[in-house]
Amino acid sequence: MTGGGAAEVAPSAYVAGLSQVGRARPVNEDALALSSREVGGRRRTVAVVCDGIAGGAHGELASAAAAGAAHAALAESDGAPPDEALRRAVALAHRAICEAAIEDVPGKDDPGTTLVAVLARPGALDLAWVGDSRAYLVRDAGDGELLTHDHSWVNLVVDAGDLTIEEALASRWSQVITRCVGPAEDPDPLHPPEPSLRSVEVGEAGMLVLCSDGLWAEFPDAADLAAAVRSAPEPGDPGSVAGWLVDQALARGADDDVTVVVVRI
């Protein structure tokens, strides 16, 4: 698992992740955790990306606790239905932050984090998310596809028809999320947030990209992200793609922390 400090990459033939502190941040408040192994002759990959909320105390501790707990739960969930495994992972991530005794910071809210997680198997992806960390599918042929739908003020008002997307993005509330993991959502460790869940059948090869908003803010359109994936020096290698995406986001001026996990599917 990585988070809270300098960039670190964990490459393999199937999955790799990289987290880098943003240009305007003193501490990296993102975290990631990942693994990939054979189970019953089939590849099973688990990955989690978390982004500590900016207004909460010690986001780096919240995100690290959540990523570690969620990953451990999913890595040990062989045989469980994916939706049950993902809900349990979010619940344990919430409990981990609530029970971490994270120190209060004057002027800041209780700690919390976003979370996006995947269970990837041959031909299928099972996703859970809370907040605005995202998952994109970039098939070898075709455009990129955003698989998640942010729990955000922007989506809340746009989905309700109250504002256009342009009006919502111009608002001072445009960065506000409406759901998170941890005490900022609910201080009761037994009352986790409700995650969104999605299962996707994948009929062709490609890359799954999990990321914090430090990446997607620089690539707001899924087609732009797909083009960046394909322009990586080694577009078929998860480690190369992860490093390339982080480098490109920082080159575009990313102030926020940038975290990327790439899963070969």
Q: Evaluate whether 216 touches 131 at the Cβ level (below 8 Å).
A: no
User: What pTM did the predictor assign?
Assistant: 0.94
Could you identify the residue written with the tokens 């919390």?
Answer: 112
Task: Decide if pLDDT at 2 tops 70.
Answer: no
More confident of the two residues 158 and 143: 158
Q: In what order do the strands lie in the sheet with 144-146?
A: 8-9, 15-20, 258-264, 206-211, 134-139, 144-146
The DSSP line for 197-251 is: EEEEE--S-EEEEEE-HHHHTT--SHHHHHHHHHTSSSTT-HHHHHHHHHHHHHH
Q: What is the pLDDT of residue 7?
A: 46
Residues 6+ apart with CB under 8 A from 213: 51, 132, 133, 134, 256
Q: In what order do the strands lie in the sheet with 124-130?
A: 2-3, 30-39, 42-52, 113-121, 124-130, 196-201
Structural Rg of the chain based on CA atoms: 17
- Specify burial of residue 175 (Cβ count, 10 A radius: 0-12, 13-18, 19+): middle
Task: Decide if pLDDT at 17 tops 90.
Answer: yes
E-state strands within 122-219: 124-130, 134-139, 144-146, 196-201, 206-211
Percent of the chain past pLDDT 90, that is, above it, reads 76
Average pLDDT over residues 46-55: 95
Residue 202 φ then ψ, to 5°? -110, 115
Q: What amino acid is encoded at 209 in this protein?
A: V
Q: Which domains does the chain have, with CATH numbers?
A: 2-149+179-264 (3.60.40.10)
Task: Decide if pLDDT at 19 tops 70.
Answer: yes
Residues 6+ apart with CB under 8 A from 108: 55, 56, 57
